[in-house]
Structure 1
Amino acid sequence: MSQKGLTRRFGIQQCLHWTIVGIMIPVLILIFQSRGLSLMDIGIVMAVWIGTTALLEIPLGGVADTYGRRKTYLFSLLVNILGCIVLYFADDLPLILVAAMLLGAAKAVYSGTLDAWFYDSFRRQPGQQSFHSAIATIHVFVTLGLAAGSLLGGWLPDVTARSFPVSSTMTALNRYDLNIALVAIASLVLILITRGLIHEARQPAPSPENQHPANAFKTSLQAIKTAFRHAILSRLMQTTLVFGMVLSGIENYWQPYLAELIHGTDYGVTFFGILSALYFLMSASSSILSVRLLKILKGSHKTLMFSTRVAAGIAFIALANTSQPISFAMCYLVFFFLFTAGNNSERVLLNEHTETRVRSTMLSISSFMITCGGVLASLFFGMISEHYGISVSWTTGGLLLVASSMLFLFMPERLEAKVAKA
């Protein structure tokens, strides 16, 4: 199989995966609010969700490197299905917290599995395609899937509301329950599809003596030391923490913020789905254009990340001061275009400076930093949003993003990949 063929195969799988994820994106916070949760409660739920991911992220990365990446990924889908089942029946904060822990665990199990499989498989295939362009292609598949899922996720509640009015005695369905049920069913189907698209034979095959829990722990420890000693990886981890804070800040509160703006207008929940879909299409466009922009910047990944993240921070501050649905939509889309433009470069640097035997773990550490940032944002921004308003928390996030981007200026362009001694 050629590099392009492998990229298409992985792209299809990722498109399906993220379509399923997208179904929940336009309505997740609305689901919590429909269960009677306040903004502070939502902050606690999201902190538990991403906190569970953070606690399990690195250990499970070591498991994927040791026991197999496809097996670990398939198990994550099973955990995700269980989390959806609990969320479907949850009607109070304690049960919602249980669902959040399961869904957070599913993300931790998935993190660093198939991405590591793809990088190692890509390097073994014949072809002249650069990994940066391959990642850009995969990102297009991902964002198209997210866009399709978000459109579907925003459309389903309106269909439910029209088909089963609140006053109807024919159903006890919450208007968002169909989203949850569809995610569970689709995840089950994806297990079968993934077994056909992703072949275990292309994953690293550890020797029997290495398949021991102590070796998984040692792998994780080596990767952690490398992540914070390596001149490039350490800068990536630091900026990734703030990236996670900003991402969580906007993901947790854009729906309540927009709901306030459209209150009393003709806009419905479908508008949330449309905006989510447009965001993902903008993200796909930024991924494609990042290849050209990198050429303009003479292949300097750090310059690309610095310039786009600073601009994104400014756009985030502008978003925090919008007062109309249309101006909100425009700033929201511009922000995400800039915010995601450097993601491919970050992924390239992360993979190029990591040895194969700890790749899944290193990707999990990067994801761990995002989730740690998310935990901090859910608690810190949740408190600020509750007492001072969402605009204040977003302005704070924009300033943090601009300040953290300065770290890219102190990062060397390239160093050797190495693993620290355990």
Structure 2
Amino acid sequence: MSRSVHALIIKFGLVQAGISAISGMIAPIIFLLFMSKGIELHEMGILLAVATISTVALEVPFGALADRYGRKKTFIAGELVLLLVVIGFWWSSSFAELIVFMILNGLSIALFSGTIDALFVEQFKVVSRDGETNLMEAQASVNIFQMIGLAVGAVFSGLIPVWFSFVSDSYDFIGFYEVGFVFLVPLILIHMLCTFYFVGESDSMGEPVGSNFFREVHSTIKSAFDVIVENPVFKPLLLIDFISGVAFISLEQLWQPMLSTLVDSKESLWLFGILFALNYVCMAVGQGCSIPLSRVFKNNYSNMLLVLEFCTGLLFFIFAIQSDLYGFIVVYLLLHVVVGISMAPGSAMFHEKIPESRRSTMLSVKSLIAQGGATAGALVAGYTAHYFSISIAWSIAGFVFIISSFLYLLPSISNLSKDMAIVLNKRFQPQPE
């Protein structure tokens, strides 16, 4: 690996780790913060729905915005909105106020979506040379930084309110769970400055038309969907993203209620935080394992992903029948290891055929499809868990994963994978002395 590629991975890895740590500090305590403000459980569901809908509605237009006007600019705009959201969560005292800031939270996520990822891929292709490293390995390295950042943020989210409880005890306008959000304000500002100074802007921006923003965005989105229609590999890959979103959301949605039946959720609250952090550590471990495992499969990503999706389905069936704490923890963490292994090869296949000028838009479309699947899956999983059981909901998810794994046998995917494998195996085969 050349010095320039290594430096690029470190730079983007640290940017991803920073924003992931900020997100990790929010997610584990956001429900506790809402409860401390008197928000009821059904109101929390409405807040989550509002944030998801605003993200889904804005993600593709803002992906087009990034491609048209600059990916770094769009990312920093997302950080500015996130800063307003963090201050709003701290300041808000009513359900109506929180709805406004959850809409802004969805807007922030939409601005973030795919921008830094697309910028990294673009700059990697500029600095990399044949025979050094491939895109999947580089993305896996950056994703390790991201997962570690999430884990570190999750751990500190539970520690900061305790360590600095004297702040909430001393000031009436700062609640116990709000202490961490106060700390996030300077952290976000520092991260914005670092991103501004150390990350270069995209060289692949579209030509600025300027007269009609909505017409420009519509044109960019239309061209992205034209790419999907013209290239037969994108439709099955996006279908897999949708199905995976439908199935995997049941884990994210129901593991806490299930764990609360195995332990005393009040006395063992630390365990929820530790598991939340460990799942990102496990995904980072999986990212590291993806590189040697891809070589076992001779860089044939479709075969590799078929096996991984099938194993994910089997693990969901095993997870559904766990009745003791240790078995629950082991299978829960194994699931996230397998997810981590799957991320880089799936991403590399998707990136392979994307035109450079439409990369952010296509990544936003990919995220939109996955979130649409997650929204549908959450409704199905919630209904199933309520009227039947959590175990049945996870069994259905396992069945869906096993069936969807065979989509990797479709000719459009398998042929792309074989073509990529030929190039990669030729590039990285040992050179004769």
Fold equivalence (TM over 0.5): yes
Deviations 1:231-282 (A, max 9, x none): 22111111111222344333333333323432177423x3222212221121
Summarize the Cα distance change of 1:223–1:156 in structure 2 as closer, same or farther, 3 Å threshold.
Answer: same
Matches within 5 A, 1:335-354: 335-354=335-354
Contact 1:46 1:375 (8 Å CA) reproduced? no
Contact 1:43 1:378 in 2 (8 A): no
Contact 1:50 1:374 in 2 (8 A): no
Is the Cα–Cα contact under 8 Å of residues 24 and 153 in structure 1 kept in the other structure? yes
Name the CA distance, whole Å, in 2 between partners of 1:85 and 1:313: 41
Aligned equivalents of 2:89, 2:167: Cα separation in 1? 21
Alignment of 1:120-269 (within 5 A): 120-127=122-129, 128-159=132-163, 171=172, 173-200=174-201, 202-209=202-209, 213=213, 214-263=215-264, 266-268=267-269
- CA shift at 1:134, angstroms? 0.3
Any idea what SS the aligned residue of 1:137 has? Answer: helix
Q: Map residues 348-367 of structure 1 onto 2, 5 A cutoff.
A: 348-367=348-367
Task: Judge conservation of contact 1:10–1:138 (CA < 8 Å) in 2.
Answer: yes
Contact 2:286 2:339 in 1 (8 A): no
Q: Which residue identity does 2:258 align to in structure 1?
A: Y
| Deviation string, structure 1 residues 172-223 (Cα, Å, up to 9, x no partner) | 65432223333343222211110122112x4324434478522332111111
Cα distance in 1 between the residues matched to 2:134 and 2:211: 33
Q: In the superposition, relative to structure 1, how do residues 34 and 287 fare at CA in structure 2: closer, same or farther (>3 Å)? A: same
Greater mean deviation of Cα atoms: 59-68 or 400-409 = 400-409
Instruction: Provide the C-alpha distance between the structure 2 equivalents of 1:126 and 1:395, rounded to a whole number of angstroms.
Output: 44
Query: How many residue pairs align between the two structures?
Result: 412
Distance 1:106 1:170, change over 3 A: closer
Is 1:100 matched up with 2:88? no
Q: Which piece of structure 1 moves more, 397-406 or 28-37? A: 28-37
SS of the residue 2:85 aligns to: helix
Q: Distance in 2 between matches of 1:379 and 1:189?
A: 38
Greater shift in the superposed pair: 24-33 or 129-138: 24-33
1:130-174 Cα deviation digits (max 9, x unpaired): 1111011001111111111111112234446x6589xx7964654
Tell me the residue number matched to 2:396: 396
C-alpha separation in 1, matches of 2:8 and 2:239: 32
Distance 1:39 1:252, change over 3 A: farther
**5+ residue gaps, structure 1:** 418-422
- Asked if structure 2 preserves the Cα contact closer than 8 Å seen for 1:11 and 1:138, the reply is yes
1:15–1:86 CA distance, 2 compared to 1 (3 A):
same
Structure 1 pair 39–320 and aligned structure 2 pair: CA distance change class (3 A): farther
**Distance change in 2, residues 1:25/1:208 (3 Å):** closer
Q: Which has the higher contact order (CA 8 A, sep 6+)?
A: 1
Rounded to whole Å, the distance in 2 between the matches of 1:148 and 1:98 is 29
Q: Which residue identity does 2:117 align to in structure 1?
A: D
In structure 1, C-alpha distance between the alignment counterparts of 2:244 and 2:186, rounded to whole Å: 32
Post-superposition offset of 1:406: 2.0
TM-score by structure 1 length? 0.88
- Tell me if structure 1 keeps the 8 A contact 2:148–2:280: yes
- Aligned residue identity for 1:149: G
Percent sequence identity is 25
Match of 2:286 in 1: 286
The alpha carbon displacement at 1:123 in A equals 0.6
- Equivalents in 2 of 1:26, 1:320: separation in Å? 23
Distance in 2 (alpha carbons) for counterparts of 1:311 and 1:376: 23
Distance 1:231 1:193, change over 3 A: same
Match of 1:420 in 2: none
Q: Which moved more, 1:358-367 or 1:91-100?
A: 91-100
Partner of 2:322: 322
- Residue 376 in structure 1 maps to residue 380 in structure 2: no
Q: Which amino acid aligns with 1:222?
A: S
Q: Judging changes above 3 Å, is the alpha-carbon distance between structure 1 residues 264 and 271 closer, same or farther for their aligned structure 2 residues?
A: closer
Q: Which moved more, 1:99-108 or 1:392-401?
A: 392-401
Matched residue type, 1:21 = S
1:57–1:368 Cα contact (<8 Å) kept: yes
Alignment of 1:406-421 (within 5 A): 406-410=406-410, 411-414=413-416
3-state SS in 2 of match to 1:286 = helix
Distance 1:412 1:211 in 2: 43
Structure 1 residues 378 and 42, CA gap change in structure 2 (3 angstroms):
farther
Distance 1:141 1:8 in 2: 9
Greater CA deviation, 189-198 or 228-237? 228-237
Counterpart secondary structure, 2:341: coil
Q: Which moved more, 1:34-43 or 1:320-329?
A: 34-43
Which amino acid in 2 is paired with 1:117?
L
Q: CA, structure 1 residues 348+279, in 2 after alignment: closer, same or farther (shift >3 Å)? A: same
